[in-house]
């Protein structure tokens, strides 16, 4: 199980220390949320923040862009050290745009993810799975940390697992929102590859045990 701690819940006063702490505890990814205040009613990390953290850790930079203009923003983050750039299908207008974003990001040598909000069905994105590296299932409405896990994510993960295995694809399945030891276990049983967790991990003295509980 890959763990991707979401630094939305980290302490901005000592962000580097928080990242280095989870790195020392053996996680593989760091989840970096980008919000534009338009696609979601909140703002979060920026390109300057990515520039600031990249030199200080060796984790995979898992960048989740919750923005209205994923093509432009995706290129920017790809050029500033992102390893994965995951954009929202709901922010695109048609298939041509989706393919344009995937191709451009791959040209820039980053891995590409597509994210779906809780009310978006998996069927709408199955056709893209052979073309991408990651599918991110949102298990809360994007925009804020600390929300309650929406159970319908479980069936989406099961459908994706089956489709990916049946078609011999290498796309990873990631889930984001409301992940703790209980909901994480359910996602694991459904076949998820990557658990994103923010408020369950950061700010707790027993963060090591919490990470272990997600594995």
Q: Which residues of the shown chain bind Zn ion in the complex (CB under 5 A)?
A: 33, 64, 176
Residue 126: is it exposed, middle or buried by C-beta count within 10 angstroms (0-12/13-18/19+)? middle
Name which of 4 and 92 has its Cβ closer to ligand DX5: 4
Cα–Cα distance for residue pair 5/114, rounded to 1 Å:
19
CA distance 114 to 214: 23
Residue 36's DSSP bridge partners are: 43
CB of 100 to Zn ion, least distance (A): 23
Name the residue nearer to Zn ion (CB basis): 66 or 94. Answer: 66
Cα separation of 88 and 66, whole Å?
6
CB of 142 to ligand DX5, least distance (A): 4
Please report, as ranges, the residues that interact with ligand DX5 according to CB under 6 A: 6, 8-9, 31, 33, 64, 140, 142-147, 176-179, 196-200
Q: Which of 33, 62, 133, 193 is catalytic?
A: 33
Smallest separation (angstroms) from Zn ion to the CB of 33 = 4
Choosing among ligand DX5, Zn ion, none, which partner's interface includes residue 184 (Cβ < 5 to 8 Å by kind)? none
Strand partners, 34: 65
Q: What strands, in cross-sheet order, belong to the sheet with 29-35?
A: 2-5, 194-197, 172-176, 134-138, 111-116, 84-88, 60-66, 29-35
Nearer to Zn ion, 145 or 164 (CB): 145
User: 83 an active-site residue?
Assistant: no
Pick the catalytic residue from 18, 62, 176, 193. Answer: 176
Q: How far is the CB of 42 from ligand DX5 (least distance, A)?
A: 8
Strands 134-138 and 194-197: unpaired
- The interface partner of residue 153, options being Zn ion, ligand DX5, none and the CB cut-off 5 to 8 Å by kind, is none
Residue 206 known to be catalytic:
no
Active site residues: 33, 176
């Amino acid at each position: 199980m890959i763990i991707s701690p979401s630094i939305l819940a980290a302490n901005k006063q000592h962000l580097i220390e928080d990242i280095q702490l989870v790195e020392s505890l053996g996680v593989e990814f760091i989840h970096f949320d980008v919000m534009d205040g338009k696609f979601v009613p909140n703002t979060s990390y920026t390109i300057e923040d990515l520039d600031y953290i990249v030199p200080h850790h060796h984790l995979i930079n898992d960048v989740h862009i919750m923005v209205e203009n994923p093509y432009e923003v995706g290129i920017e983050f790809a050029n500033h050290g992102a390893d994965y750039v995951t954009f929202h299908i709901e922010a695109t207008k048609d298939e041509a745009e989706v393919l344009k974003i995937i191709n451009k990001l791959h040209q820039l040598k980053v891995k590409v993810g597509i994210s779906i909000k809780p009310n978006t069905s998996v069927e709408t994105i199955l056709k893209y799975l052979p073309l991408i590296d990651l599918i991110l299932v949102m298990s809360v409405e994007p925009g804020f940390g600390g929300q309650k896990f929406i159970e319908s994510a479980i069936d989406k993960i099961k459908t994706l697992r089956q489709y990916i295995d049946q078609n011999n694809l290498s796309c990873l399945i990631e889930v984001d929102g409301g992940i703790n030891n209980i909901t994480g276990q359910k996602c694991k049983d459904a076949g998820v590859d990557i658990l994103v967790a923010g408020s369950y991990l950061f700010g707790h003295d027993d963060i090591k045990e919490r990470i272990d509980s997600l594995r």
